[in-house]
Amino acid sequence: MIDTVAFDADDTLWQNEKFFQITQQSFESLLKDHSNTDDLGARLLAAEKRNLEVYGFGIKGFVLSMIETAIEVTDETLPPATVRQILEIGREMMAHPIELLPGAGDAVEAVSSNYRTVLLTKGDLFDQERKIAQSGLAKLFDHIEIVPQKSMRTYEEVFGRLGSGASQGLMVGNSLRSDVNPMLEAGGWAIYVAHPLTWEVEHAEVPNSNERFRQAKELREVPDLIKSLTVEARKPAGA
Ligand SMILES: [Mg+2]
């Protein structure tokens, strides 16, 4: 039986990585005249990975990683005006209007009529709250949870507190590393809805052999897929 369904938010319900990539392009053009590095993208990614444990996920950490990378690749000659421009492109990201993915509202609404429905997102509390408010989807959820990261323990804790445990829970998301694999590890169900622009850090192997793993091409397939799982779970053994 499945009693609680949680949706990831960034790149599952609304666009996110797209805005990081646009900002990264602006960052690269800001630094063009100050550095000869041709692997700026790789240097930035390395800084982001280094800093995840310190700053957590989100735009603020990304901005600090851009500044750190800029200082490195300019041998500490980065002009203060460029630092200010980096801060500005970060601020624009924080103010960017949210862009829902196709079918997001309908999928959540359909699921919420049959299951306890949760928005489970990781990252910066302030920014996630802004996006949730702007999305107009908040009223469709029974609970909203913003967590610093998503691990097996996160799923055990959240589904234990809000539902009847991870084994009767299902997670829908675009990240194999954050949404799918730790939920399966916790003994729950997971539906992977791939997004073409998923951040490199969120990649992992597709757990095709796990019997509680499913994949949907788009969000609008999710409500029927969950219904079919519930029927399957109700079948007596051997049926
Ligand atoms: Mg996501």
C-alpha to C-alpha distance for 226 and 144, rounded to whole angstroms: 20
Specify the pLDDT at position 199.
79
Say how many Å lie between the CA of residue 202 and the centre of ligand 1. Answer: 8
The reply to whether CATH 3.40.50.150 applies to domain 17-95 is: no
Specify the pLDDT at position 237.
53
Kindly list the protein residues that place their beta carbon closer than 5 angstroms to ligand 1, a single-atom ion.
8, 10-12, 174-175
C-alpha to C-alpha distance for 50 and 203, rounded to whole angstroms: 17
Specify the pLDDT at position 204.
85
Specify the pLDDT at position 197.
84
Say how many Å lie between the CA of residue 57 and the centre of ligand 1. Answer: 11
Specify the pLDDT at position 59.
94
Those residues of the chain that have pLDDT short of 70 are 232-239
Say how many Å lie between the CA of residue 53 and the centre of ligand 1. Answer: 18
Specify the pLDDT at position 33.
86
**Reported pTM:** 0.90
Looking at domain 4-15+98-234, its CATH architecture is 3-Layer(aba) Sandwich (3.40)
Specify the pLDDT at position 202.
80
Query: Is 147:163 a contact under the CB 8 Å cutoff?
Result: no
C-alpha to C-alpha distance for 27 and 35, rounded to whole angstroms: 12
Specify the pLDDT at position 147.
95
Say how many Å lie between the CA of residue 204 and the centre of ligand 1. Answer: 13
Q: In the chain, what are the domain boundaries? A: 4-15+98-234, 17-95
